[in-house]
Amino acid sequence: MTPGLSAGAEGRSALDVLVVGAGPAGSAAATLLARAGYAVAAVDRAAFPRDKACSEYMSPETVRLLDRLGVVPALEAAGAAAPDGTVVTAARGSRLHGRFVLAGAPPFRPTGLAVSRRVLDHALVLAARDAGARVLERTAVEELVYDRGAVAGAVVRDAGGARRVIRARLTIGADGLRSLVARRVGRRRYGRPRRLAFVAHMDGVVGMGDSAELHVGRGAYAGLNSIGGGLTNVALVVSTALAARARGRVEAFFLERLGRFPGVHERVSAGAFTRPVLATGPFAAWSGRVVADGAALVGDAADFFDPFTGEGIHSALRGAMLLADAAGEALADGGPVTARRLGGYRRARRAAFSGKWAVERLIGYGMLSPALFDRAVGRLGRRAGMADTLIGVTGDFVPARRVLNPVFLARMIL
Ligand SMILES: Cc1cc2nc3c(=O)[nH]c(=O)nc-3n(C[C@H](O)[C@H](O)[C@H](O)COP(=O)(O)OP(=O)(O)OC[C@H]3O[C@@H](n4cnc5c(N)ncnc54)[C@H](O)[C@@H]3O)c2cc1C
């Protein structure tokens, strides 16, 4: 079904669902709701394929969700790499190596996927179109429209500057970290730590193995991840205060700061940038409310803590799946899509993500103390199976309680 778009602010909604943002969260929500037979349009201010600052690492559990969306063959055909886990090196040299296959629960497959967001996000947009959703590129949402206090669609502006209203029974905010929809309906809060990320694609980085790498320094960390085709994704995350020194000299700042990570600098300086360094942040954004009358939030628009534990793509896809289930029911009888009728989505998110949120914060705040962090990484690296368990938990296929229990936590520190 190809939905029509209402041209004016008047009249009944021609659409069931308007999705704002066609990144992983938005495209996945559009695909699933269109597959369920609803009239769906997604708008994105970008034109796909487009780049996105991201380390581009996905666990086997994320691959399971991508498989449900039908895009894995396209990613593999594009030359995606297949990471088998992660190596973490702490500031004083402690090291852990966690592998998916040893994590204590069977992963969907032995390896994850790592591929440029140009490829991933484009494949997800094509899947949404194949499912029957209309995807409008170079079309930005400028404001929401309301009907008796409920969200009823949005004012969009196309590439030619023309504005119009698109009305829908449900408006999904999947517009990322700086979400306009979340600022309007989500009681948006920003917290600590205040960090910015710089992300490069480089050719010729030496010594890359089959696992992704995280290198933690004082107040900063770096990630190295093979993304196929001989390219390495190199990410640097620093405090917002330090990031101010990058102004006007991003590549020089990037290489200088990587120089502070033993075992990274020589390997990276052998390489060459293949696209401009992208910057993004700050993170730690949280929507106190993910449903409102006529609206719901998903992906980074709902919450995003910090890139260190990765898996934002997993949260975006899983959140979209939970939302599609709840929204499908709320839309089914043709009545208004109220916050109350979407309440199942809020509860499902809490059940699915609360353990992971706690683990992310445990790691994120633990990193603020380099001595403690080094000690924990050392313990996890030496004690059989602990690093693998942690990689399974951060990879979303081992329950968080395997880490969030007194025995594991004591063995990690003592
Ligand atoms: C440095 C860094 C590294 C990361 N590394 C990883 C990793 O290795 N693995 C992982 O799983 N996750 C990682 N993440 C997290 C991951 O990138 C995000 O969680 C994920 O992209 C969220 O998807 P999304 O669809 O919610 O938002 P996005 O991917 O940001 O998509 C939002 C879309 O909305 C569009 N948009 C925004 N505003 C408007 C508007 N007003 N009108 C129309 N369109 C709009 C944008 O153009 C964009 O296409 C990382 C994040 C950062 C910052």
What is the CATH class of 15-50+118-191+285-355? alpha beta
Q: In the predicted model, what is the mean pLDDT of residues 70-77?
A: 98
Q: Of 347, 316, 394, give the one whose Cα is nearest residue 117.
A: 316
- The binding-site residues of ligand 1, defined as CB within 6 angstroms of any ligand atom, are 20-26, 43-46, 52-58, 140-141, 174-176, 180, 197, 199, 235, 280, 299-301, 304, 307, 310-314, 316
Cα(233)–Cα(115) distance, integer angstroms: 9
Mutate which of 19, 31, 55, 298 for ligand 1? The one with the most ligand atoms within 8 Å of its CB, which is 55
Cα(300)–Cα(316) distance, integer angstroms: 7
Answer whether 123's CB lies under 8 Å from 24's CB. Answer: no
Per-residue pLDDT for 37 more than 60?
A: yes
Cα(227)–Cα(82) distance, integer angstroms: 8
Per-residue pLDDT of 322-373, as tens digits, reads 999 999 999 998 999 999 999 999 999 999 999 999 999 999 888 888 899 9
Mutate which of 232, 313, 349 for ligand 1? The one with the most ligand atoms within 8 Å of its CB, which is 313
| Nearest ligand 1 atom, CA 180 | 41
Per-residue pLDDT for 61 more than 70?
A: yes
Per-residue pLDDT of 174-229, as tens digits, reads 999 999 999 999 899 998 878 999 999 999 999 999 999 999 998 899 999 999 99
Instruction: Specify the range with the lowest mean pLDDT, choosing from 74-78, 362-366, 384-388.
Output: 362-366
Beta partners for residue 150, in sequence order:
147
What's the confidence (pLDDT) of residue 12?
A: 53
Mutate which of 45, 56, 116, 277 for ligand 1? The one with the most ligand atoms within 8 Å of its CB, which is 45
Q: Of 144, 83, 146, give the one whose Cα is nearest residue 115.
A: 83
Q: In the predicted model, what is the mean pLDDT of residues 165-170?
A: 98
C-alpha separations of 350 from 185, 286, 299, 322, 340 in Å: 19, 13, 14, 11, 16
Per-residue pLDDT for 6 more than 90?
A: no
| Nearest ligand 1 atom, CA 121 | 29
Q: Going edge to edge, which strands form the sheet with 303-304? A: 188-190, 285-287, 303-304
What's the confidence (pLDDT) of residue 193?
A: 78
Q: Of 44, 36, 2, give the one whose Cα is nearest residue 19.
A: 44
Per-residue pLDDT for 114 more than 50?
A: yes
Helix, coil or strand: residue 51: coil
User: For residues 167, 170, 173 and 174, what is the CA-based torsion angle, rounded to 10 degrees?
Assistant: -100
The owner of tokens 């409102």 is 292
Percent of the chain whose pLDDT exceeds 70: 97
The one-letter amino acid at 47:
A
Nearest CA to ligand 1 atom 18: 312
What's the confidence (pLDDT) of residue 8?
A: 42
| Nearest ligand 1 atom, CA 283 | 53
Per-residue pLDDT for 1 more than 60?
A: no
Cα(401)–Cα(136) distance, integer angstroms: 42
| Nearest ligand 1 atom, CA 25 | 25
Per-residue pLDDT of 292-329, as tens digits, reads 999 999 999 999 988 888 799 999 999 999 999 999 99
| Nearest ligand 1 atom, CA 299 | 26
The one-letter amino acid at 203:
D
Higher pLDDT, 33 or 413: 33
What's the confidence (pLDDT) of residue 219?
A: 87
> What is the pTM assigned to this prediction?
0.96
Mutate which of 201, 300, 357 for ligand 1? The one with the most ligand atoms within 8 Å of its CB, which is 300
C-alpha separations of 388 from 12, 96, 223, 224, 312 in Å: 53, 9, 18, 19, 20
Query: What confidence category does residue 13 fall into, taking pLDDT thresholds of 50, 70 and 90?
Result: low
Q: In the predicted model, what is the mean pLDDT of residues 70-99?
A: 97
Q: Of 176, 281, 130, give the one whose Cα is nearest residue 220.
A: 281
Q: Of 65, 20, 58, 24, give the one whose Cα is nearest residue 352.
A: 65
Pull the structure tokens for residue 250. 């991003």
Per-residue pLDDT of 229-251, as tens digits, reads 999 999 999 999 999 999 999 99
- List, in order, residues 6 or more apart from 2 with CB less than 8 Å away: 132, 134
Nearest CA to ligand 1 atom 33: 21
| Nearest ligand 1 atom, CA 179 | 38
